[in-house]
């Protein structure tokens, strides 16, 4: 062999001996509270998000999916700082998460101007997919109005005519009560009274329950979540109101995260939400089996939104061959994804970037095992929001 042929052969051998460089991973920033008042909700979503990627794919188009965590602490300033770090320092391709609407509001302009897709897995402020919508912000959870607007006509249709409303005095509480009030009065109902305790300052609901009792409504509608939900339901029952004034609520009052601790205190409560563990479909059965096997408890409404988000991302990535060089093409792929998940039919409305989904009305009932469970009474299919000033 002459010298030129020897060098060429050696070069070829070296080239084929070195494995091809692995494709860069798709980096996803997970922007959730892992400490503070919403730390438990953030951890619940992170676990279900990981379960979702394990189920639907940790690798797409030859690219692995890498998750980069950041703790928002549910504080707007911290959330904005973490979003900047994820985008500028960690160079993430996508963002997922956000529990607090205040944090979502704080990061909205930065994400919009940066052109990095953000998948909101909880924060329900109507404006985020309404007047302050962005082509870069996709919500896979719910809007506040979407959850509750169907409860007004449903309750009126069952003979309830005078409702008393109660929620904490902040955007989510006001938006949910506004949506309920509008739909209930449009159906012919009347509002007997409304109370808005200051967020995070209520040690005792008794003063508000006294006003509720004196108003003599025939139904109460409330929105409380987390520890205040447990406290409110306990005091409502202890005050002797449960037997005289039926209680209805946005479904976080009887969340899967704490319904076992509430027990008989919430027996008979009507609730409306986009998910309850008792939904009867094959996808929900699979989700609940996997969640129970891995984490030792039922999957919640918080977790299912993150789980579905993982599937949405995997399917959209597959549609573009995991090529994110054209983010707008990826967003078009997001709008093209639809599937049946644990919540039922799932798709994103291209007019608002808010999810189109079923809403479930359920009632808490004692189970044969001695506990309580939310049993589905009615399904409001394919609920979507009006554009509400959204211009993409």
pLDDT, tens only, 24-60: 999 999 999 999 888 999 999 999 999 999 999 999 9
Query: Confidence band (pLDDT; 50, 70, 90) for 203?
Result: confident
The domains found in the chain, sorted by start residue, are 23-142+275-357 (3.40.50.2300), 146-273 (3.40.50.2300)
What pLDDT score does 8 carry?
A: 46
Q: pLDDT tens-digit profile of 290-331? A: 999 999 999 999 999 999 999 999 999 999 999 999 999 999
The answer to whether residue 9 scores a pLDDT higher than 50 is no
| Other C-beta atoms lying within 10 Å of the C-beta of residue 174 | 15
Residue with more model confidence, 1 or 18: 1
Pairwise CA distance, residues 151 & 223, whole Å = 12
The residues with which 255 forms a beta bridge, in sequence order, are: none
What pLDDT score does 366 carry?
A: 81
What pLDDT score does 368 carry?
A: 66
Percent of residues, the chain, with pLDDT higher than 70: 94
350 Cβ contact partners less than 8 Å away, ≥ 6 residues apart: 335, 392
The answer to whether residue 384 scores a pLDDT higher than 90 is yes
The answer to whether residue 88 scores a pLDDT higher than 80 is yes
The mean pLDDT of 174-188, rounded to a whole number, is 97
**Inter-residue contact 298 to 259 (CB < 8 Å):** no
pTM confidence score: 0.91
What pLDDT score does 13 carry?
A: 42
What pLDDT score does 370 carry?
A: 62
Average pLDDT, the chain: 92
The mean pLDDT of 69-92, rounded to a whole number, is 97
What pLDDT score does 2 carry?
A: 53
Q: pLDDT tens-digit profile of 218-266? A: 999 999 988 899 999 999 999 999 989 999 999 999 998 888 778 778 8
Give the angle subtended at the CA of 168 by the CAs of 164 and 169, to the nearest 5°.
105
Of 265, 245, 227, 238, the C-alpha closest to 164 is 245
The mean pLDDT of 204-214, rounded to a whole number, is 96
**Inter-residue contact 306 to 52 (CB < 8 Å):** yes
The answer to whether residue 161 scores a pLDDT higher than 50 is yes
3-state secondary structure the chain: CCHHHHHHHHHHHHHHHCCCCCCCCEEEEEEECCCCCCHHHHHHHHHHHHHHHHHHCCEECCEEEEEEEEECCCCHHHHHHHHHHHHHHCCCCEEEECCCHHHHHHHHHHHHHHCCCEEECCCCCHHHHCCCCCCCEEECCCCHHHHHCCHHHHHHHCCCCEEEEEECCCHHHHHHHHHHHHHHHHCCCEEEEEECCCCCCCCCCHHHHHHHHHHCCCEEEEECCCHHHHHHHHHHHHCCCCCCCCEEEEHHHHCCCCHHHHHHHHCCCEEEECCCCCCCCHHHHHHHHHHHHHHCCCCCHHHHHHHHHHHHHHHHHHHCCCCCCCHHHHHHHHHHCEEEECCEEEEECCCCCEEEEEEEEEEEEECCCCCEEEEEEEEEEEECCCCCCCCC
What pLDDT score does 200 carry?
A: 76
The mean pLDDT of 135-163, rounded to a whole number, is 98
What pLDDT score does 272 carry?
A: 98
What pLDDT score does 367 carry?
A: 74
What pLDDT score does 392 carry?
A: 86
Pairwise CA distance, residues 392 & 389, whole Å = 10
């Amino acid at each position: 062999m002459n010298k030129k042929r020897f060098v060429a052969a050696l070069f070829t051998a070296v080239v084929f001996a070195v494995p091809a460089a692995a494709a860069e991973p798709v980096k996803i920033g997970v922007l959730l509270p892992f400490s503070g008042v919403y730390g438990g909700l953030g951890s619940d979503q992170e676990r279900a998000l990981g379960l979702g990627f394990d189920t639907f794919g940790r690798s797409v188009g030859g690219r692995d999916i890498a998750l980069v965590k950041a703790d928002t602490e549910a504080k707007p300033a911290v959330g904005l700082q973490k979003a900047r770090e994820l985008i500028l320092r960690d160079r993430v391709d996508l963002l997922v998460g956000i529990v607090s609407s205040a944090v979502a509001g704080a990061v909205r302009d930065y994400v919009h101007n940066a052109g990095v897709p953000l998948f909101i897995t909880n924060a329900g402020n109507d404006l985020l997919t309404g007047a302050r919508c962005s082509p870069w912000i996709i919500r896979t959870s719910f809007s506040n109005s979407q959850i509750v607007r169907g409860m007004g006509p449903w309750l009126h249709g069952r003979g309830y005519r005078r409702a008393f409303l109660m929620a904490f005095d902040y955007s989510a509480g006001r938006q949910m009560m506004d949506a309920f009030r509008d739909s209930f009065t449009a159906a012919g109902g009347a509002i007997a009274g409304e109370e808005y305790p200051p967020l995070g300052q209520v040690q005792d609901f008794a003063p508000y329950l006294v006003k509720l009792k004196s108003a003599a409504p025939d139904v109460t509608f409330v929105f409380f979540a987390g520890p205040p939900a447990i406290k409110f339901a306990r005091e409502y029952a202890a005050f002797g109101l449960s037997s005289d004034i039926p209680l209805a609520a946005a479904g976080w009052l009887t969340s899967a995260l704490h319904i076992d601790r509430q027990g008989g205190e919430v027996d008979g409560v009507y609730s409306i939400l986009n998910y309850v563990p008792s939904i009867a479909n094959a996808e929900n059965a699979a989700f609940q089996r996997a969640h129970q096997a891995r984490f030792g408890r039922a999957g919640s409404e918080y977790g299912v939104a993150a789980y579905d988000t993982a599937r949405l991302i995997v399917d959209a990535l597959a549609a573009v061959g995991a090529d994110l060089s054209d983010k707008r093409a990826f967003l078009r792929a997001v709008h093209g994804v639809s599937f049946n998940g644990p919540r039922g039919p799932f798709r994103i409305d291209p007019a608002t970037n808010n999810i189109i989904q079923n809403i479930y009305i359920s009632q808490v009932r004692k189970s044969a095992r001695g506990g309580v469970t939310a049993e589905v009474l009615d399904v409001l299919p394919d609920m979507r929001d009006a554009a509400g000033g959204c211009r993409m």
